[in-house]
Copies of this chain bind each other. A is one copy, B any other.
Amino acid sequence: MDADSYLAESSSLVDRYLDQVVPPASESPARLHAAMRHLLFPGGKRLRPALAFAGCEAAGSPAERALPAAAAVEMVHTYSLIHDDLPCMDDDDERRGRATVHVAFGEAVAVLAGDALLAQAFEVLAGGPAPADPERRLAAVRDLSIAAGSRNLVGGQADDLAFRAGEGGAGAIESIHQRKSAALIAASVTAGARLGGGDPALLERLHRFGEGMGVAFQIADDLLDREKEEACSLVRVLGAERARARAEALLEEALARLEDLGERAEPLRELARFAVRRNR
């Protein structure tokens, strides 16, 4: 098992599911549904779905059981990218080599497409065919809503916007990474593990693993994209070498959380190493 093949398998699994649960572009309102799908297909690496699958496997269950969680976290991730790209936010015209949603469909439809993906992520997580018991589903809904709310994802984005106007040291930057990126990554792992039947002690360890690797992942992202000079980036404050060392330290700490979990946590370990050490 290497990360590349795990990501490839995860993509094909989650893509099929997403295609079923997100209304087709032929369904009215067609423009809205096309906009919801614009950034979703083709997607990126599908790292968050892969982490949901790997979390489910770490809990001792087959990856497929995490499908509703895998699809839901990717929908939340996609919504957040669509809204981050808006003119009133980062004002980006391009993402993954294609026009951003507001450039392709207009600003109003982009806001609405993000809104709908966020709302429907909870429909997918609360519904779906997986056999997990209702208590676990409900806990996964809580994980995801907390990760997406003002104390995490949205709050991190608000502080990110404020940060660019002013100043802030390494501590402020890590706090933003923690909320804006790592919280959803941690929720991906734990929501997957919940649907896989993980016990509270395991969920706690996986949550901390996800938080640590999430921040390390974001630093790695900034190392790969040094052009974002104005952005909230540890690389800008610490320099590339020290930022890389910080990411490695966080990765080692995160991997230590998985000690004693044996073979079944191997996908999580591989994904973490890939996410932090990748060069693309």
Contacts and interface: CB of A to CB of B under 8 A. Distances in A.
Interface of A: 23, 28-29, 31-33, 36, 79, 83, 86, 88-89, 106-109, 111-112, 114-116, 118-123, 126-127, 133-135, 137-138, 141-142, 144-146, 148-151, 153-155, 157-159, 161-162
Given A112-B154, A119-B154, 9 more contacts: A29-B150, A29-B158, A88-B106, A89-B108, A111-B111, A114-B115, A123-B142, A123-B145, A126-B141
A122 B150 contact: no
A33 B155 CA distance: 9
A86 B89 CA distance: 14
A188 to B, nearest CB: 15
Which residue, of A28, A115, A135, A137, has the highest number of chain B Cβ atoms within 10 A? A115
A179 to B, nearest CB: 9
Which residue, of A127, A135, A144, A158, has the highest number of chain B Cβ atoms within 10 A? A158
A38 B121 CA distance: 26
B150 A116 contact: yes
A158 B31 contact: yes
B158 A32 contact: yes
Given A108-B89, A159-B29, A119 B118 contact: yes
B151 A23 contact: yes
Contacts of A149: 116, 119-120, 123
A94 to B, nearest CB: 20
Contact of A33 (B89, B118, B150, B157): B150
B126 A142 contact: yes
Contacts of A142: 123, 126-127
A126 B111 contact: no
A116 B159 CA distance: 14
A155 B32 contact: yes
A214 to B, nearest CB: 18
Contacts of A86: 108, 111
A155 B142 CA distance: 25
Contact of A107 (B79, B88, B155): B88
B109 A158 contact: yes
A161 B106 CA distance: 12
22 contacts: A29-B162, A32-B155, A32-B158, A33-B150, A88-B108, A89-B108, A111-B111, A112-B154, A115-B118, A115-B148, A116-B149, A119-B145, A119-B148, A119-B153, A120-B145, A122-B141, A122-B145, A123-B145, A123-B146, A126-B141, A134-B137, A137-B138
A212 B188 CA distance: 39
A155 B118 contact: no
